[in-house]
Structure 1
Amino acid sequence: MTPPSITQLLIILLIIVLLFGAKKIPELAKGLGSGIKNFKKAVKEDEEDNQSAQNERDPSQIKQTQTQQDSTQDSTKKQEA
């Protein structure tokens, strides 16, 4: 399948302008842009919330994990000797 030619794209653009009107198209684009901006902002906030929640519970988990790793390394060293 070949990509649409310039003539076909112009016809599609003309149909869109006729359907929505010249004034409505910038409003639609603005709404789409602000929607994307809000979505990105929400994703960023969610990632920050997850990171801060992980940092809050990490100190106790880090100690437990380090203790488990130390005991595993000690037992591995004993088995090798």
Structure 2
Amino acid sequence: MFGGFGVPELILILIIGLVIFGPGKLPDIGKAFGKSIKEFKSAQSDSEDKNTIEAKAELDEPGKEDK
């Protein structure tokens, strides 16, 4: 399901999270985790876009030969 984790594993992780952090803090932790993943994906996408632009710029430069 999620990176090799099935439903039983996810339920176990949720139960452990409830025991460690308690039901009051779990939504805040989930929100922070989701925000971190969103920022990571955004940075990864920006990096891929930058690499694509740089590769196109190298190909578009006339008179440049590979050594």
Map 1:46-57; keep pairs closer than 5 Å: 46-57=47-58
Q: Give percent identity, aligned residues only.
A: 29
Structure 2 length as normaliser, TM-score?
0.63
CA RMSD in angstroms comes to: 2.8
**Which of structures 1 and 2 has the bigger CA Rg?**
1
* Structure 2 alignment gaps of length 5 or more: 1-7
State the aligned residue count.
Answer: 56
Structure 1 length as normaliser, TM-score?
0.54
Of the two structures, which has the highest relative contact order with CA contacts closer than 8 Å and spacing of 6 or more? 2
* Structure 1 alignment gaps of length 5 or more: 1-5, 66-81
Instruction: Give runs of ≥4 in structure 1 deviating > 3 Å.
Output: none
Residue 24 of structure 1 aligns with an amino acid whose one-letter code is K
